[in-house]
A and B are shown apart, each in its own frame.
Chain A
Amino acid sequence: MLYTDIRKLQKLDAKRSPMFDKNRFAKFLMYFAVAFWAAYLIFFGVMLSFAFEEDSPNMEPYHVLNQGLIIFLILDFLIRFLFPTPVQAIKPFLLLPVPKRKIMSILLIDSGLSLFNLFWLFFFVPFALITVTRFYGLTGVIGYALGIWLLMVFNSYWSMLIKVLIRQKFLNILWIVPVYGILALIEFLPETGWLSTFTINLGEAFIFWNPLSYLGELAAIFLMAYINYRVQLKLIHNELSRKEDTHVRHISSYSFFDRYGNVGEYMRLELKMLFRNKSPKSQFWMLMACVVMFAAFLTFNVYGENSLMNDFMCLYCYIVFGIMTLIQVMAIEGNYIDGLMVRKESIYNMLRAKYYLQCIFLLIPFLLCLVPVIKGSMPLLMSLSYLFFAMGPVFACLMQMAVYNDRTMPLNVSMIGKRQNNNKYQSIVSIAVMTIPLLINQVLTSIFERNTAYIIMILLGLAGFLTHRYWIYNIYVRFMKRRYQNMENFRNTR
């Protein structure tokens, strides 16, 4: 009863949001992406079934797949970081005369029953239909699918636990080290391979409808759900009483910004915003991890020499901060927009400060990219070209969102949060800045030599940087023209 009521309220909440109309395009993109990935997984399921049969004639294809089940679980674990934590929805129910524990249990059950947990079946079912049916019929496939679904439910609770802990403190990500470390040890210690042997047996047990395998999974799911339940209940209390920063031990003054006048003051404000609020802070460290990962890909030449993916990785290193922060420009300021708007030209100075700070942040990927450059797996010119191109046209493009963003982004949502902050322009601009620089690079490379193409991109980037005062002022003027509409929407979404 309460479960259906909560579901109804969540649906109404989404439907009656003042920004529902603006979410439609993002929703369309989401449905498109779901259909695309479903088709992609089906394709892979079918292709791999034949590939395994050919490559490993001494093993059944489902055994080959099952020995790598952990890879799917790790991938699933990582993908889930892209989604909001479901228990963020708890706040509206906390003041109702219903025990918190009951609501938490319902939200956890809701998360366990999420349709996303079925998504991998687009891969496993076609694979099993080809490889399992001929020996064990449709019952074998159903048993296998059921077992995989339960594994994904378990994985969803595991990833939820880590996500919730990370929201409290980023260093909690270290919890994954012993877990995956032990798994790696039991797999890779000489003459072991215990993990892959276990997953082969587990997969076969699913196909045979071995009750012990399901009971084991159910026990693991209940245990992980219970840990989530305890941890999250505890953290809700922390969140509500705001224990963590009621007394600040150290207050950073960033006094080196003093010499840069009003713009410096806004740069200081921007840094404080970034490091004193949960959402931007955790986003920053998450992005830092992404940049390190991409730089590592480039260092170890994962995609081989001259691959377009190397260009993509390098570009992504430089624009990922911009994409995540500039795309939301003004959304955080929506929290205190009225205070800014009664001060003369404050928005113009703030936009400049944001731009300068983003340019300074480019030093981080630049330094990280020096590792593959020194190792010789990436040319310095390539790194410089994407650095300058990000600083110029990419940031100029992203900062246009200052005119169109009109939803306030909550600063301190951790356990308790709101829906994603998207509009159609954000989706279009994100896709554009991730693809158009590569297209430009490809076009230039097809006309000129590779190095010439990079130099042209550097020049384009410099042109964007040198003209930044003009285009930022233009953004400011356009923002001021739309200010009433934006301010009203900011107020409505606080």
Chain B
Amino acid sequence: MDIILEKLKKCYGSHVALDIDQYTLTGGEIVGLVGNNGAGKTTLFRLMLDLLKADEGHVCIGDIEVSRSEEWKEFTGAYLDESFLIDYLTPEEYFHFIGKICGLDAATVDERLSAYERFMNGEILGQKKFIRNLSAGNKQKVGILAALLNRPQLLVLDEPFNFLDPSSQSALKHLLREYHQETGATILVSSHNLNHTVDISSHIILLEHGVIIRDLKNEEGNAEKELEAYFEIEQ
């Protein structure tokens, strides 16, 4: 389903954090969101997930305006930061909790998790540790997996490669591609890592000071050069 951003504006005092006049994200794509610090990536995600109030405009997921109805929550999964995690639970308990409130029984949750064994790398399940005692990378994995549990049609991940070791970053790329192929879901990923973003995205949006300044089709990685030029990365 498409995501429509209509005259979307968010200010913090006199600072304009996001200002998008009109933009439609076509459904069924993996969309990479890139930009320097303060470009408005997280603000955009928070507005999409109704975690922030827009000063002007609105976000629609399909034909649902996110601030007016909660229906979109049924087919959306998201992980932005640690504030999504209930850290006094073990990862298993957290997955079962999220599963239960999404209407999944424990067996289904376990079955779905088993597909992500490579990504978990034996460090998540059966550790007898509360989430608060996991490493930053493993917390990140728990958040990402919990977002995937209800097989969402829209998946929103803010800087998912952060804190992950190189093997886990590679496993995550593989996981996201596979999930996209299986479900045809719309996946939104923000990242500072251009290589990973270019690797997985079919479409890349470049934000600067809250404004979309480039909207790049990424067929066979052809967006990479343009992004490198923008970020002045020397070869």
**Do A and B come from the same complex?**
yes
- Please list the residues of chain A having a beta carbon within 8 angstroms of any beta carbon in chain B: 242, 245-249, 251, 261-262, 265, 268-269, 272-273, 276-277, 335-339, 341-346, 349, 411-412, 484, 487-488, 491, 494
Q: A242-B133, A245-B133, A487-B51 are in contact. Are A339 and B101 (CB under 8 A)?
A: no
* Contact B74 A335, beta carbon cutoff 8 Å: no
Q: A248-B129, A342-B78, A345-B70 are in contact. Are A272 and B88 (CB under 8 A)?
A: yes
Q: In whole Å, how far is B81's beta carbon from the nearest beta carbon of chain A? A: 7
Please give me the residue from chain B that is nearest to A488 by CB atom.
B52
Q: Which of A272, A342, A346 contacts B89 (CB under 8 A)? A: A272
Q: Give chain B interface residues in 64-97, CB to chain A under 8 Å.
A: 70-71, 73-74, 76, 78, 80-81, 83-90, 93, 97
Give CA–CA (A412, B80) in the complex, Å: 23
> Which chain B residues border A336 with CB–CB below 8 Å?
83-87
Q: Which of A246, A249, A342, A412 contacts B76 (CB under 8 A)? A: A342
Q: In whole Å, how far is A284's beta carbon from the nearest beta carbon of chain B? A: 14
Mask for B88-123, Cβ within 8 A of A = 1, else 0?
Answer: 111001000110111000000000000000000000
Q: Which of B52, B83, B89, B133 contacts A494 (CB under 8 A)? A: B83
Known: A276-B130, A342-B50. 17 other contacts (CB 8 A): A245-B130, A249-B128, A251-B93, A261-B100, A265-B101, A268-B97, A336-B84, A338-B49, A338-B51, A338-B80, A341-B51, A342-B73, A342-B78, A343-B73, A343-B98, A344-B74, A349-B101
B214 within 8 A of A: no
> Which chain B residues border A249 with CB–CB below 8 Å?
128
* Contact A277 B129, beta carbon cutoff 8 Å: no
Q: Which of B50, B53, B87, B101 contacts A341 (CB under 8 A)? A: B50
Q: Which of A242, A262, A277 contacts B101 (CB under 8 A)? A: A262
Q: In whole Å, how far is A317's beta carbon from the nearest beta carbon of chain B? A: 28
Interface residues on B, range: 20 to 34
Give CA–CA (A336, B90) in the complex, Å: 15
Give CA–CA (A269, B93) in the complex, Å: 9
> Which chain A residues border B74 with CB–CB below 8 Å?
344
Give CA–CA (A242, B135) in the complex, Å: 13
Give CA–CA (A488, B17) in the complex, Å: 15
Please give me the residue from chain B that is nearest to A244 by CB atom.
B133
* Contact B133 A339, beta carbon cutoff 8 Å: no
* Contact A339 B130, beta carbon cutoff 8 Å: no
* Contact B88 A273, beta carbon cutoff 8 Å: yes
Q: Which of A251, A265, A335, A345 contacts B97 (CB under 8 A)? A: A265
* Contact A276 B83, beta carbon cutoff 8 Å: no
Q: A338-B84, A487-B51 are in contact. Are A269 and B97 (CB under 8 A)?
A: yes
* Contact B97 A343, beta carbon cutoff 8 Å: no
16 A-B interface contacts by CB (under 8 A): A247-B128, A249-B128, A265-B97, A265-B100, A272-B89, A335-B87, A336-B84, A338-B84, A339-B83, A339-B85, A342-B49, A344-B70, A344-B74, A411-B88, A484-B52, A491-B83
> Which chain A residues border B97 with CB–CB below 8 Å?
265, 268-269
Give CA–CA (A251, B94) in the complex, Å: 13
Please give me the residue from chain A that is nearest to B98 by CB atom.
A343
Give CA–CA (A277, B89) in the complex, Å: 10
Give CA–CA (A265, B100) in the complex, Å: 7
Q: Which of A339, A345, A484 contacts B84 (CB under 8 A)? A: A339
Please give me the residue from chain B that is nearest to A275 by CB atom.
B88
Q: A276-B130, A339-B84 are in contact. Are A248 and B70 (CB under 8 A)?
A: no
